[in-house]
Amino acid sequence: MLCTTVSQLIGQTPVMPIAVPNSDATLVLKLEKNNPGGSMKDRMARSMVLTALQDGRLQPGGTIVESSSGNTGIGLALAAVELGLRFIAVVDHHAAPDKIRTMRALGAEIRYVEGDFREDEVAVVERQRLAAQLGAQLPDALFMNQSDNPANPEGYAGFVDELLAQLPEGIDAFVGCVGTGGSMTGIAQRLKRANAAIRTIAVEPAGSIIFGKPGHPYYQSGTGTPAGDEVGKVLDYGCIDEGVQVTDGQAFETARFIARRYGLLVGGSTGGTIYKALEFIAAGKLHGTVVTPVADGGEKYLGSVFDDEWMAKRDLLDPTIAAQLDAWLPGRARAA
């Protein structure tokens, strides 16, 4: 395939099946980390920008403003480069440093929110406030507002089309993380249209408020809705069969396990969806072909999730989780 623009590299990501012994299920990972910005958010970022240009809310040469923990920001930075736009990313201390560096390398302007926040506290409310303020004050600027932007879920149409073509024998379940609700809604709605029997499981961090549980701080980045924020308007609860929570320890230890067992670096939120998918399979609640996306790669978290000292200092190391994963996926990596 000959590509003349970076956007042509978005999509057509491969799938990697993992056999789950002692079950009738196969876990299929769709490697969204292979998108040019390193995450599935490249899809929705471009969708939001193109839609805004088409309907006139964003003018050629204008300014994109968005609150982001990093991956959406990287996707928007790529779109801005290709389409000749200015991009301002509003971030907080929770964003992985390498995500900030990547956005800067792509020409994005970084604005940090002010205020005293705990290390495990996501400052989404203040990020949203500042991004909206900049979007209103700067000339020819538009706050993308991914949480409420219908072009967010629409950006995942290609993901589902690819998945249905890659797995022609059918999909039985989809397990994905949920933050703004864009990817979960966009993917789950389309899978349900293809086959209403497909089970859809949405995974949020323990401490997130999406499914009505009490809020508290958490370390998982780019997923969930923290206490004090509002659940995104793009989230369609009706396409989700079950919402569950995963702890930071379960998510991060699973990401570390997948790296050691399969040589695949996945981010923390993906570790969470893999953990819950395997838990559901082991309990006999999911069968057949179970899909979960590798939302982004672990390369962005080498100084946190994959750093023993960082994990130990936050009391996140838990050998019992690795032991449980080894019971679910015993032995060395084998072809499915």
- Which CATH number do you get for residue 84? 3.40.50.1100
Q: Residue 208 pairs with which residues in a beta bridge? A: 206
* Residues 272 and 177 sit within 8 Å (Cβ to Cβ): yes
Same domain, 311 and 184: yes
The count of other CB atoms within 10 Å of the CB of residue 321 is: 21
Q: Is residue 155 part of a domain?
A: no
The answer as to whether 258 is a domain residue is yes
Helix, strand, coil % over all residues of the chain, rounded to 5: 40, 15, 40
Structure tokens at 44: 């929705």
Q: Which residues of the chain have pLDDT under 70?
A: 119-122, 332-336
Task: Count the neighbouring beta carbons within 10 Å of the beta carbon of residue 261.
Answer: 16
**Domain for residue 333, yes or no?**
no
Q: Are residues 77 and 183 in the same domain?
A: no
Query: Is 309 among the domain residues?
Result: yes
- Look at the chain and report how many structural domains it folds into: 2
Do 202 and 294 lie in a common domain? yes
Task: Identify the domain boundary among 115, 146, 177.
Answer: 146
Predicted TM-score (pTM) of this structure: 0.94
The pLDDT score that the predictor gives to residue 120 is 64
Looking at the DSSP bridge assignments, the partners of residue 87 are 64
Quote the pLDDT of residue 334: 46
Predicted pLDDT of residue 121: 64
Residue at 48 is within a domain: yes
**Same domain, yes or no: 242 and 316:** yes
Establish if 241 belongs to a structural domain. Answer: yes
284 and 309 share a domain?
yes
pLDDT at 333: 47
169 and 120 fall within a common domain: no
Residues 25 and 59 in one domain: no
Residues 58 and 203 in one domain: no
Q: Is residue 204 part of a domain?
A: yes
Q: Do residues 228 and 174 share a domain? A: yes
Does residue 331 sit within a domain?
no
Residues in contact with 113: Cβ distance below 8 Å, sequence separation at least 6, in sequence order: 90, 91, 92, 123, 126, 127, 130
Residues 183, 185, 187, 192, Cα dihedral to 10°: 170
pLDDT at 336: 46
Residues 140 and 116 in one domain: yes
Residue-level pLDDT at 69: 80
In terms of residue numbers, what domain contains 111? 41-146
